[in-house]
Amino acid sequence: MDNNENQNQLNIELSPEVAEGIYSNLAIISHSTSEFVVDFIRMMPGTPKANVKSRIILTPEHAKRLLFALQDNINKYEQQNGKIKVPDNNMMPPIPMGFGGEA
């Protein structure tokens, strides 16, 4: 490896706590002219309240890169494991009443 390749290498560290991950079964996305905000939420059956477990803020350019990366990974997944089935009539799961910070 030459010196130029060394300068382009990025070392990414993953702590044990972050490596465990946070389960989410709902994501709510909002945006302004300068940023996209993705809130990852865990909804539990029979519970009228759901808390945001993680919030990621992205520039519009990075949001688009994430879109492309997700699409690429979904395509690879489906090639290996078959089509991911989602209901034809609605891409979004129902959001219970009182969701969104209301008491």
Render pLDDT for 26-74 as a digit per residue (tens, 0 to 9).
Answer: 999 999 999 999 999 999 888 889 999 999 999 999 999 999 999 999 9
5 pLDDT band (50/70/90 cuts)? low
Assess contact for 74 and 83: CB atoms under 8 A.
no
- Whether the per-residue pLDDT at 1 is higher than 70: the answer is no
**CA-CA-CA-CA torsion sign (45, 51, 54, 58):** positive
The predicted structure's pLDDT at residue 92: 59
The predicted structure's pLDDT at residue 69: 98
- Give me the chain's average pLDDT, please: 85
pTM check: above 0.85: no
Render pLDDT for 52-64 as a digit per residue (tens, 0 to 9).
Answer: 999 999 999 999 9
The predicted structure's pLDDT at residue 98: 43
> Residue 89: which residues within 8 A CB-CB, separation 6 or more?
none
